[in-house]
Amino acid sequence: MGIAPKASELTEEIVQIYYARAFSWRGIFGIHPWIAWKEKSDDQYTVAQVTAWNVRQQGTAVRVEKDLPDRRWYDSPPKMLYEARGEKAHKIIIQLKNLIKTYPFKDRYTVWPGPNSNTFVAYMIRNIDELDIELPASAIGKDYLGATSFLSNTASNTGFTLSAFGLLGFTLGAVEGVEVNLFGLHFGVDFWTPALKLPLIGRLGFSDKSL
């Protein structure tokens, strides 16, 4: 798609997060995100994402492979949510590799209310301080914390998220603003970069930005 720089031309490490409208009818309601990175010694990007069919085919929802970072997701064009380069990217890559190995929901995938592809990327964001961004409101499953966990830090580490099985929840953070989750649909107000957060469309207002 021409969003990511060519791997052969990169002289520094890079991490990117993309998303696109989900496959088939699911795209009406939500998105599918993935994480891509390239280390200095690599001649290709590595892409990590979670899919339902990977559970059926490989026994794990997590798929990590060499691939184009900015390819279309079926018919949906990708949008880049986040990018880091250099030393910051290096720190993120180290943590990504470790967290992917210990991702707690790797053995299952549930479109609604999670765990799904949004749960996976949100988990990485919550647990890596350098990933100072949040998924859009259209990312159904991003607040799924599991069957026994109901409280977590926000993506920016400036607040908290309360969530009951990804179905009902409340988020308050200096960067995230106020967000309510009703059966997987997210409504909120972002004060950091003023915008309304709405289900289906994601964001209405200024583009989100990291700290």
Total domains in the chain come to 1
Helices marked H in 78-144 — which ranges? 86-102, 117-127
Flag whether 211 is in a domain: no
Flag whether 1 is in a domain: no
- Among all chains, which residue has been given the structure tokens 């995230």? 176
pTM for this predicted structure: 0.95
Could you tell me the residue range of the domain that residue 130 belongs to? 7-205
From first to last of its 211 residues, what are the pLDDT tens digits of the chain?
Answer: 789 999 999 999 999 999 999 987 666 889 999 999 999 999 999 999 999 999 999 999 999 999 999 999 999 999 999 999 999 999 999 999 999 999 999 999 999 999 999 999 999 999 999 998 999 999 999 999 999 999 999 988 889 999 999 999 999 998 899 999 999 999 999 998 899 999 988 899 988 766 5
Flag whether 170 is in a domain: yes
Structural contact between residues 126 and 95, judged by C-beta atoms closer than 8 angstroms: no
Q: How far apart are the C-alpha atoms of 195 and 173, rounded to whole Å?
A: 14
Structural contact between residues 142 and 135, judged by C-beta atoms closer than 8 angstroms: yes
Flag whether 22 is in a domain: yes
Largest Cα span, the chain: 46
Nearest to 195 by CA among 181, 185, 209, 184: 209
Flag whether 2 is in a domain: no
Flag whether 210 is in a domain: no
